[in-house]
Structure 1
């Protein structure tokens, strides 16, 4: 029993004072007012008077394939209050192994839900299609798959599902017509459809029309107004993205408003990944050493980055996210964690700077992210019958969003982790 706590109720966007949460095994058995709680069968009591409980945090966008210290990162994420992550591209065998260790208790970290990347032939030039395919020809691994108009999509989706993925991430060089076919087959096989906001040559509206479940990256939304879409992600990064007028494009132009209305009507979630562009979170100097194509699969990003007005891109990311929020689009909180650790707590704070209330920003990193993965029936909020993933704080995050870092302890699957 956790008693005398204040619960942050993200389902109803409210604060519940002086509550008692009874946990049995890994589930929340009951939630009651502390003064009338039935505690006759309770074996252990934890009195947390003047403490605050929010749902376990979820980061809906990480890449755990590249970091060599990923076990340490996973441990740090858990103790900060992140109990679940969605990995958006890498070798499924690594995630299977990590999840096995986490389940056995030999590794402490959040549960990992992961994707299979699918892409067109032009993306085969990207070295990431080789690094995550060890033992396979590039484009043939079930989790890193080339798809063309002549491909057996049913077979590709089936093999991805057998690899344990929760969804497909559509990456690059996929036409609107092929995108719709892939989406239809994936949904028929109970897999989620995730994509970048622009898939090249497909625009954000093409992804929406194909019923993609989640669109990632606020920066890519600007291509909704592009009349000459590049064919691939790499081409867009090298040439098209640096030439976009982020500074003077208006986020409430009719093209974007129409797009947001469609997203809202189709229950499509937007994950802006503000952390990826925030000047506040960027190192002062980008590392350039050991930047050869052979050992750095994102060299093209570094080269393109030198041409970009990052300040204007950061400002655009905030403005387009604010506009999506104002037009009723469900927003998810993801960091795009790649080589170095990032914190979804930072993403939550950035959302408050886009006009979100503190509790709405917390909801983006809990219940909304559970919806992204498709696990909101059992995760993402503090409700009877749901899994007991909880974050205990010493200060109220509804008063000050930075208080989400005042961690006292973390419960994952009903087990307490306390430094």
Structure 2
């Protein structure tokens, strides 16, 4: 057993599951023989068991496309991903997908999602039009334009009414307004996930606002700037050379504060790779100015400083890829951020669970948590590519055998 909490691997272990929960985790020598005659036994000798993986940054409905979303979610689940964090889309569609997954209508990870808040100038973005069809961008509960005069208790309550787990802060927000939104969201029991730069709020100001997680390592390049750019200002490229060695002093101070607060960095390194150039969800930076090498260097500096790094994709690989998008981000964290396999695995388990606000439910194999596990035939700590040796995914106690995986084809939506 290789847990997501960083503890050393444990051999000869048993996991007792009842319904959708883990009841006990114990060594073979403590096995009550009576269990062998009363419980369904799944022998896993010679296998490796890890917690269910979590993709901490997906977009399932910008714009809504049910066929594509179900295909991606099916690929995720049969590849070991048992939960995803949707970072704001058309929540009418996302909510329906979340319900269908939860009740077992579709094979899919659990979906946790955010309602978006931003300043008025953001809502000229074409994506906000796509996800607000039938309503007005900035004036629907899942996409709200916020100003200094907004009734924040009401706005957050409306967001909660979508069953969102969090508020996502995107752009055109001052430090003061980001802090007010965050305080009210926390008061009402929601997490706050934010872009690392909110234009004009800089990364350190976003962190100081008290958010739970910040997204996109490449947006951290705005931290050293003395002049805070607004959303509608031209965004000239900064001095990228100052970040390539992974020793930027401004980021060092930022990462010290993030470590102190426990703020998670949702790095999305893969979103800046050459194969993500056409992504419609990548953060707004001038084309070809930040890439996965630079994002990896920034993420590596954060990791060495003790910042919690989650694993999120913010991109979708071609339908011909039989494995979850998450595997691309895990490779980037290892190769570009120089994180060891054990740390990368934590990024996709316990740390991703924290970023999602679900540490008490998932992220490790422990009594009381959801029975979300992945059975592998090869050791992922020796080589992360061994994550592609999935034998079984267990989600909420239900077994999905990799051998049964068939990609969705056109017209297969109702065939589960």
TM-score by length of 1: 0.89
Q: CA deviation at 1:257?
A: 0.9
Pairing 1:53–2:49 present: yes
Pairing 1:350–2:328 present: no
Pairing 1:391–2:391 present: no
Pairing 1:44–2:36 present: no
In structure 1, runs of 5+ residues without a counterpart are 1-6, 288-295
Change (3 A) 1:153 1:387: same
Separation of aligned partners in 2, 1:299 and 1:209: 24
Paired residues of 1:126 and 1:297 also in contact (CA < 8 A): no
Is the partner of 2:223 in helix, strand or coil? helix
Is the partner of 2:214 in helix, strand or coil? strand
Moved more, 335-344 or 27-36: 335-344
Query: Which whole-Å deviations, capped at 9, do the CAs of 1:101-157 have from their partners, x for residues lacking one?
Result: 222322110111110111111112112222111222221111100000111111000
Change (3 A) 1:119 1:339: farther
Pairing 1:86–2:85 present: yes
Paired residues of 2:6 and 2:342 also in contact (CA < 8 A): no
Moved more, 35-44 or 104-113: 35-44
Aligned to 2:413: none
Pairing 1:11–2:5 present: yes
Separation of aligned partners in 1, 2:341 and 2:281: 34
Is the partner of 1:44 in helix, strand or coil? coil
Alignment of 1:102-121 (within 5 A): 102-121=101-120
Aligned to 1:144: 143
Q: CA deviation at 1:45?
A: 1.0
Paired residues of 2:271 and 2:282 also in contact (CA < 8 A): no
Is the partner of 2:379 in helix, strand or coil? coil
Q: CA deviation at 1:192?
A: 0.5
Query: Which whole-Å deviations, capped at 9, do the CAs of 1:22-49 have from their partners, x for residues lacking one?
Result: 1111111111212331241342111111
Q: 2:29 aligns with which of 20, 32, 35?
A: 35
Separation of aligned partners in 1, 2:133 and 2:106: 24
CA RMSD of aligned residues (A): 2.1
Query: Which whole-Å deviations, capped at 9, do the CAs of 1:375-408 have from their partners, x for residues lacking one?
Result: 1112110112211000000000011111011100
Moved more, 104-113 or 211-220: 104-113
Separation of aligned partners in 2, 1:136 and 1:340: 31
Aligned to 2:73: 74
Separation of aligned partners in 1, 2:281 and 2:368: 43
Change (3 A) 1:298 1:273: closer
Separation of aligned partners in 1, 2:183 and 2:371: 34
Separation of aligned partners in 1, 2:345 and 2:246: 24
Q: CA deviation at 1:11?
A: 1.7
Alignment of 1:6-405 (within 5 A): 7-41=1-35, 42-66=38-62, 68=65, 69-232=68-231, 235=232, 239-240=234-235, 243-249=237-243, 251-279=246-274, 282=275, 304-305=286-287, 308-310=288-290, 313-337=291-315, 343-353=325-335, 354-405=337-388
Aligned to 1:4: none
Is the partner of 1:334 in helix, strand or coil? coil
Change (3 A) 1:217 1:340: farther
Moved more, 100-109 or 154-163: 100-109
Paired residues of 2:216 and 2:283 also in contact (CA < 8 A): no
Separation of aligned partners in 1, 2:300 and 2:281: 29
Separation of aligned partners in 2, 1:320 and 1:297: 23
Change (3 A) 1:300 1:275: closer
In structure 2, runs of 5+ residues without a counterpart are 405-416
TM-score by length of 2: 0.89
Q: CA deviation at 1:352?
A: 2.1
Paired residues of 1:64 and 1:338 also in contact (CA < 8 A): no
Is the partner of 2:399 in helix, strand or coil? strand
Paired residues of 1:13 and 1:360 also in contact (CA < 8 A): no
